[in-house]
A and B are shown apart, each in its own frame.
Chain A
Amino acid sequence: GAVVSQHPSRVICKSGTSVKIECRSLDFQATTMFWYRQFPKQSLMLMATSNEGSKATYEQGVEKDKFLINHASLTLSTLTVTSAHPEDSSFYICSASPQQGGNYGYTFGSGTRLTVV
């Protein structure tokens, strides 16, 4: 079945530094990838949608300059949290869709726990 690998699973960084999270589709090509943020005991909030080779589309209220998304290939999307602050600490999850339109076969990564100290 479709597998999405997300790395790292946990990261601790100092306030003011940047952190990159990778999301890879291992056995399929992902035209579209989605990035979510999840606060403790809460639901998933969509941050942005990335399409291979084009700029990401950010949800309202998400700072595009803080959360940089790059989808350079059909198997890799990255989320970079720039100048991280403690309030950016959260659980970040990516998902990938194997083809454009009509499939809705979303596969989720295992998530990244970011702690900013």
Chain B
Amino acid sequence: AQSVTQPDIHITVSEGASLELRCNYSYGATPYLFWYVQSPGQGLQLLLKYFSGDTLVQGIKGFEAEFKRSQSSFNLRKPSVHWSDAAEYFCAVVDFGNEKLTFGTGTRLTIIP
């Protein structure tokens, strides 16, 4: 069965600083990977997804992620964070057979002035 690990439960960065959120996956074949963001009390918004092709994926709100097969990773990055980026971030992988998403445990991002 597929799984997703997000090693960092909580990250704090200063506004304007760069950000990297880690995600490691376990899947038998080439994975389809997603990053979602959730604001408090809200649903999930898709930031970006990787299906195939270029391993560097651009998303919304200035985020990007890089798929590294050799490291089974799909880390999310942003060069300069804004206070509005404070939220919970989830990495996910889809099971092709039943289209179910498996989520990581999430990383809570706090932005300090």
Q: Is the interface of A mostly helix, strand, loop or mixed?
A: strand
| B90 neighbours in A (Cβ, 8 Å) | 43-44
Of the candidates B41, B94, B98, B105, the one whose C-beta lies within 8 Å of that of A113 is: B41
A66 vs B104: C-alpha distance when bound (angstroms): 26
Closest-by-CB residue of B relative to A110 is B43
- Inter-subunit contact A42/B44 (CB<8 Å): no
A49 vs B94: C-alpha distance when bound (angstroms): 14
- Inter-subunit contact B101/A106 (CB<8 Å): yes
Assuming the contacts A42-B105, A43-B105, asked whether A97 and B99 have C-beta atoms less than 8 A apart, the reply is yes
Q: How many chain A residues have a CB neighbour from B under 8 Å?
A: 23
A32 vs B97: C-alpha distance when bound (angstroms): 13
Contact residues, B15-73 vs A (CB, 8 A): 32, 34, 36, 41-46, 49, 51
Q: How would residues 87 to 113 of chain B score, 1 for a CB under 8 Å from any chain A CB and 0 otherwise?
A: 000100010001111011110100000
Assuming the contacts A32-B99, A104-B32, A104-B99, asked whether A43 and B104 have C-beta atoms less than 8 A apart, the reply is yes
Contact residues, A87-108 vs B (CB, 8 A): 91, 93, 95, 97, 101, 104, 106-108
Contact residues, A1-60 vs B (CB, 8 A): 4, 6, 32, 34, 41-44, 46, 49
